[in-house]
């Protein structure tokens, strides 16, 4: 949802191409659609996660899309995301981490369980200043919810 706001002049982030971010986020989710969104707590080594996602992308690009020009563009975007060096790749990776923490907060609110490992593995890794700000806001919201529920007992 954040990516949709990037087209709005009020939310424009310098040196980030919104269209490229949207495409990259969608392409990143393609691999996860086949192998699942593997969370750090599942204990699957990074190399194995990468291998599974690479295999999924190979299947999509070669078996499903027959290495067409569109498939090659999809593969290039996925590789750019995985490499994590372009401003867009860094930003989309941060959004993915932020979204994981945001989902964890919603789950905590709805189910009353602590999901601290999700916050520990996401918020401290945020690099983009804007996403760091959102992450701190999320932690502030979590703190306020925690204090409200503690004082209402």
Conformation bin of residue 86: beta by default, left when phi > 0, alpha when psi is -120 to 50: beta
- 23-66 confidence digits (pLDDT tens): 999 999 998 899 988 877 788 998 999 999 999 999 999 999 99
Q: What's the average model confidence in pLDDT over 141-149?
A: 87
CB 98 within 8 A of CB 134: yes
- What is the value of pTM for the model shown? 0.85
Domain ranges for the chain: 16-83, 84-153
User: CA 153 to CA 138: how far, in whole Å?
Assistant: 23
């Amino acid at each position: 949802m954040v990516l949709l706001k990037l087209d709005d002049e009020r939310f424009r982030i310098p040196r980030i191409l919104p269209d490229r971010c949207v495409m990259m986020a969608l392409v990143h989710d393609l691999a996860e659609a086949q192998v699942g969104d593997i969370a750090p707590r599942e204990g699957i080594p990074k190399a194995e996660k990468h291998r599974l996602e690479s295999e999924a992308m190979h299947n999509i690009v070669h078996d499903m899309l027959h290495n067409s020009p569109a498939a090659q563009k999809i593969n290039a975007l996925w590789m750019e995301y995985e490499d994590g060096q372009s401003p867009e790749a860094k930003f989309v990776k941060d959004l993915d981490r932020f979204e994981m923490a945001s989902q964890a907060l919603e789950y905590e609110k709805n189910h009353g369980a602590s999901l601290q490992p999700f916050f520990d593995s996401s918020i401290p890794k945020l690099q983009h200043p804007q996403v760091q700000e959102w992450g701190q806001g999320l932690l502030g919201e979590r703190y306020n919810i925690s204090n409200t529920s503690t004082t209402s007992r």
